[in-house]
Structure 1
Amino acid sequence: MIPDFQALMRPVLELTSDGAVHPMKQVIDDLGAEFDVSDDERAELIPSGQRRFDNKAHWAVSHLFQAGLLERPLRAHIRITDRGRQALVEIPERIDVKALGRYPEYVAFRSRSRIRKADLSSNPTAETDDRSPLELAQAAEAENRAAVEGEILERVLAVSPRDFEVLVIKLLSKMGYGQHGVVEHSGQPGDRGIDGIISQDPLGLDRIYIQAKRYNGTVVQRPEIQKFVGALMGAQGDRGVFITSSRFTQGAIEEARRVNARIELIDGDRLAQLMVRHEVGVQADAPIVLYRVDEDFFEAL
């Protein structure tokens, strides 16, 4: 019998407890052997075409990653973190979503997926769930989106400041800005606080100026907004977008609202949401189609 994804959490940590980098494929094979999953069960597929057991293993890893117990140093490879080793000691029994609720990052992940805190003790993908197929699909989609948003923000924090600027330009282009003009990267030494320019029309008369700050832990404060506003005034602009991988202080938010120029602020969480929504740095898997009876068809017979 294929175990649920929560039953795989502690075994995943135990299999990686040596601190080495482990290929995900090998971890899945080792889990299959540990739970005595038959070849027929390993071949069983879910509607998206992925193997059911592999899917559950990946979900277990995803939840452990969101809690900071695992990291992904290479593509399709995982490694236990110091927190993961500590969890094996501090949580001697089953490690599941309820146990992961002790970690703030995991609680934030569940909040992003719009799952109530009271649900932390339940299995959101349990096969005994009494929700309708549509409700289950919607819950799974929300949880998947939240997980990917968390993972993509981790990847964003790992890029260089210049690559972050390029990433922002690509995102804004994908969102449709500059469709009738151009979106250009201007960030370089001496750029006077302007990392990119969106020309909304062919002549460049309608412009939006971009500031991009890849910060890991450092928050954007009021003085940086003031500097950006100064850069806008210097460029004779009145509209700007300030994007950061971190967050804005309340003072920074108030400053953006106070000035005459129109300043749009995008923090790390919103950046991740926009990247997923517009499929920048992510790939969409095969969708699941749900059917319902067409009552109008039968009434028209």
Structure 2
Amino acid sequence: MPLPDYQALMLPLLQLLADQQVHRTRAVIEALAESFQLTSAERQHLLPSGKKFTFDNRVGWARTYLKKAGLIDSPQRGFLQITAAGQEVLRHNPSKIDVGYLDQFEGFREFRGLSGTTTETPAIAVLTQTSNTPEEDLDAVYQQLRSDLRVELLQTIKSCSSAFFERLVVELLVAMGYGGSRREAGQAIGRNNDEGIDGIIKEDRLGLDIIYIQAKRWEAVVGRPEIQKFAGALQGQRARKGIFITTSAFSKEAADYVRKIDSKIILIDGQALAEYMIDNNVGVTVEATYELKRIDRDYFIED
């Protein structure tokens, strides 16, 4: 069963408050989850940003919209209560409450920017045309832009030389906190041998351990034989740790193999490589920054 969208939660939320008592917001969320018979996995489902539970976020937006319409109120922080207007709505026994239904309330129309004479289309009005919450729509747009950037990054990397790719790998590992300075890391790369190792890098600034690197700018899937060759090279150096990075992907047999051997080998495929580059600002630049803010209610608590 898919998670209910925020509009499907509006009427059940209002009905939970029908007794006119003051309810804790957390208790309301749990009661709604139980009424929709959500599984533990569904309750733990996160927004694409990975920072908030999807169901809790949807309940939050349903609560916000009902408050803007004047149907519920927060007598104090973390608590909810139905208003007289909300009781009147329930007396009419609506089959559902959604954005279209709430448009009859002036406070909600003002919230959406639909009142007045402006001809511009407000962002909140555009976002609420979908079944997603505005936050989910923002997350979805962000994830799509990030996905497009991953594709463009990989295409660009594959058009570069192998030597450039090896340098890129070192730049990334240094940006992630490995290898001390870029100059120190660079001394270990590009050696003229064919032992299955493209370079080495310090695990930390003190050089307490060494990590061996294999970098493959490939189109074909990297199979188990290549990983076995790398593992053998590690043994030849009496090394314990290695990172195998490719612009393509790894076969299931390759992934299974690294889980069974004593050496610790981390596999980074093209998708993960692009993700790490984006997260650590390697090969990308910030074009714009948007901050999503919420009210700091603690600020408004008077002594």
Q: Which TM-score band applies after superposition, normalised by the shorter structure? A: 0.5 to 0.7
Change (3 A) 1:291 1:266: closer
Task: Give the Cα–Cα distance (whole angstroms) in 2 for the partners of residues 170 and 202 of structure 1.
Answer: 15
Q: Report if the CA contact (8 A) 2:196-2:230 is conserved.
A: yes
Once the 2 structures are TM-superposed, how far is the Cα of residue 289 of structure 1 from its aligned partner? 2.6
How many positions carry a matched residue from both structures? 179
Deviation sequence 1:248-267 (CA, Å, 0-9, x none): 11111122122211110001
Change (3 A) 1:247 1:172: same
Deviation sequence 1:229-284 (CA, Å, 0-9, x none): 11111111111000000111111112212221111000111111111111110111
Q: Report if the CA contact (8 A) 2:202-2:208 is conserved.
A: yes
Alignment of 1:101-250 (within 5 A): 128-129=129-130, 131-179=132-180, 182-184=184-186, 185-200=188-203, 204=207, 206-216=209-219, 218-250=220-252
SS of 1:211's partner is strand
Q: Report if the CA contact (8 A) 2:167-2:189 is conserved.
A: no
Change (3 A) 1:200 1:293: closer
Q: Report if the CA contact (8 A) 1:197-1:208 is conserved.
A: yes
SS of 2:218's partner is coil
Task: Give the Cα–Cα distance (whole angstroms) in 1 for the partners of residues 255 and 132 of structure 2.
Answer: 40
Q: Report if the CA contact (8 A) 1:195-1:211 is conserved.
A: yes
Change (3 A) 1:202 1:148: closer
Once the 2 structures are TM-superposed, how far is the Cα of residue 113 of structure 1 from its aligned partner? 9.9
Give the one of 258, 263, 266 matched to 2:265: 263
Q: Report if the CA contact (8 A) 1:134-1:290 is conserved.
A: no
Once the 2 structures are TM-superposed, how far is the Cα of residue 286 of structure 1 from its aligned partner? 2.3
SS of 1:183's partner is helix
Once the 2 structures are TM-superposed, how far is the Cα of residue 285 of structure 1 from its aligned partner? 2.1
Once the 2 structures are TM-superposed, how far is the Cα of residue 131 of structure 1 from its aligned partner? 4.3
Change (3 A) 1:200 1:292: closer
Partner of 1:281: 283
Deviation sequence 1:76-113 (CA, Å, 0-9, x none): xxxxxxxxxxxxxxxxxxxxxxxxxxxxxxxxxxxx99
RMSD: 2.8
**Structure 2 segments unaligned to the other structure (5+ residues):** 1-47, 51-124
**Structure 1 segments unaligned to the other structure (5+ residues):** 1-111, 115-124
Task: Give the Cα–Cα distance (whole angstroms) in 2 for the partners of residues 199 and 214 of structure 1.
Answer: 22
Partner of 2:76: none
Which sits farther off after the overlay, 206-215 or 189-198?
A: 189-198
Percent identical: 42
Change (3 A) 1:200 1:294: closer
Partner of 2:101: none
Once the 2 structures are TM-superposed, how far is the Cα of residue 190 of structure 1 from its aligned partner? 1.7
Q: Report if the CA contact (8 A) 1:241-1:266 is conserved.
A: yes
Task: Give the Cα–Cα distance (whole angstroms) in 2 for the partners of residues 134 and 190 of structure 1.
Answer: 52
Give the TM-score taking structure 1 as reference length.
0.53
Task: Give the Cα–Cα distance (whole angstroms) in 2 for the partners of residues 113 and 201 of structure 1.
Answer: 29
**In terms of Rg, which structure is larger?**
2
Task: Give the Cα–Cα distance (whole angstroms) in 1 for the partners of residues 278 and 126 of structure 2.
Answer: 26
SS of 1:198's partner is strand
Change (3 A) 1:205 1:290: closer
Task: Give the Cα–Cα distance (whole angstroms) in 2 for the partners of residues 196 and 146 of structure 1.
Answer: 30
